[in-house]
């Protein structure tokens, strides 16, 4: 005998439940958590280093590094004197909240103001996974091309801010900034766009001022 059973159950409910638990822990400890999304080679680690450099006098910062393999990025962050936890996803294309929970367990949340999560370099998979973060921010680098919002709309749509990195290379790569801004705004009309050159420091001020406002708000 066939029977119909109503479920109305979110598919990612396990991930979402852990993310909610993490979000509550972060709020309790007054920690702002940033989930950073980008392609491989867009300058995520350089952007993190520049961000730490600008904010380290005011805030205690830790970094959670998600990579398929290696601890190269975590070593770079640690070399700068910042706490870093490496997560190796072992082939998985995105971070899930259970991985973040394991990483957070080795951090002293009460002493921290900001946790930056460097997600696996990928513009598709991480967009649907809640990690308990306060904000998702994506980095696009100029050499990737101004048409990326048309190819990967999801990530532009879920992001709370967009960083356009390697802005100093625009003339070389024939990057149409107007076209880029217009397609981003169509997808996510209110999102701020920060033009930076992470390794040279250009434009980092505006980005870190935006971030600092949000970190302070999380401490209230």
| Burial bucket for residue 117 (CB in 10 Å: 0-12, 13-18, 19+) | buried
C-beta closer to other proteins: residue 30 or 154: 154
115-15-215 Cα angle (round to 5) = 20
The answer to whether residue 125 forms part of the interface with other proteins (CB under 8 A) is: yes
Residues 101 and 103: their CA atoms lie apart, in Å, by 5
Selected binder of other proteins within 71, 154, 199, 214 (CB under 8 A): 154
Residues 209 and 207: their CA atoms lie apart, in Å, by 5
CB of residue 81 to other proteins, shortest distance in Å: 35
CB of residue 8 to other proteins, shortest distance in Å: 6
Number of residues that bind other proteins (CB under 8 A): 33
The window from 17-25, 41-49, 119-127, 197-205 that contacts other proteins (CB under 8 A) reads: 119-127
Beta strands 83-88; 61-67: pairing state: parallel
The answer to whether residue 167 forms part of the interface with other proteins (CB under 8 A) is: no
The answer to whether residue 220 forms part of the interface with other proteins (CB under 8 A) is: no
Residues 167 and 197: their CA atoms lie apart, in Å, by 5
Beta strands 83-88; 193-195: pairing state: unpaired
Binding-site string for other proteins from residue 46 to residue 85, where x marks contact by CB under 8 A and - marks none: ----------------------------------------
Residue 197 is given by DSSP the state B
Of residues 164, 169, 190, 197, the one with CA closest to residue 179: 164
Residues 158 and 190: their CA atoms lie apart, in Å, by 11
CB of residue 219 to other proteins, shortest distance in Å: 27
Residues 143 and 92: their CA atoms lie apart, in Å, by 25
Selected binder of other proteins within 39, 86, 183, 208 (CB under 8 A): 183
Selected binder of other proteins within 23, 56, 185, 214 (CB under 8 A): 185
C-beta closer to other proteins: residue 27 or 191: 191
Selected binder of other proteins within 36, 50, 59, 94 (CB under 8 A): 94
The answer to whether residue 1 forms part of the interface with other proteins (CB under 8 A) is: yes
Length of the chain: 220
Residues 37 and 154: their CA atoms lie apart, in Å, by 12
CB of residue 12 to other proteins, shortest distance in Å: 6
Interface with other proteins (CB under 8 A): 1-14, 92-94, 124-125, 127-128, 149-150, 153-154, 157, 183, 185-190
């Amino acid at each position: 005998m066939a029977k119909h059973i109503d479920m109305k159950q979110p598919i990612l409910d396990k991930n979402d439940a852990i993310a909610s638990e993490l979000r509550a822990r972060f709020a309790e400890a007054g920690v702002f958590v940033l989930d950073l999304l980008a392609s491989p080679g867009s300058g995520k680690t350089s952007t993190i280093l520049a961000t730490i450099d600008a904010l380290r006098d005011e805030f205690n910062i830790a970094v959670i590094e998600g990579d398929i393999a290696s601890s190269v990025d975590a070593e770079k962050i640690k070399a700068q004197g910042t706490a870093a936890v490496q997560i190796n996803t072992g082939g998985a294309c995105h971070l899930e909240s259970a991985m973040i929970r394991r990483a957070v367990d080795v951090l002293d949340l009460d002493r921290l103001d900001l946790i930056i999560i460097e997600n696996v370099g990928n513009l598709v998979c991480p967009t649907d996974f809640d990690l308990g973060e306060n904000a998702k921010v994506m980095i696009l680098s100029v050499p990737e091309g101004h048409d990326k919002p048309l190819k990967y709309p999801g990530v532009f749509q879920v992001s709370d801010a967009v960083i356009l990195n390697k802005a100093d290379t625009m003339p070389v790569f024939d990057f149409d900034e107007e076209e880029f801004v217009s397609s981003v705004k169509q997808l996510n009309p209110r999102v701020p766009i920060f033009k930076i050159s992470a390794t040279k420091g250009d434009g980092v001020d505006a980005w870190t001022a935006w971030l600092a406002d949000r970190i302070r708000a999380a401490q209230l």
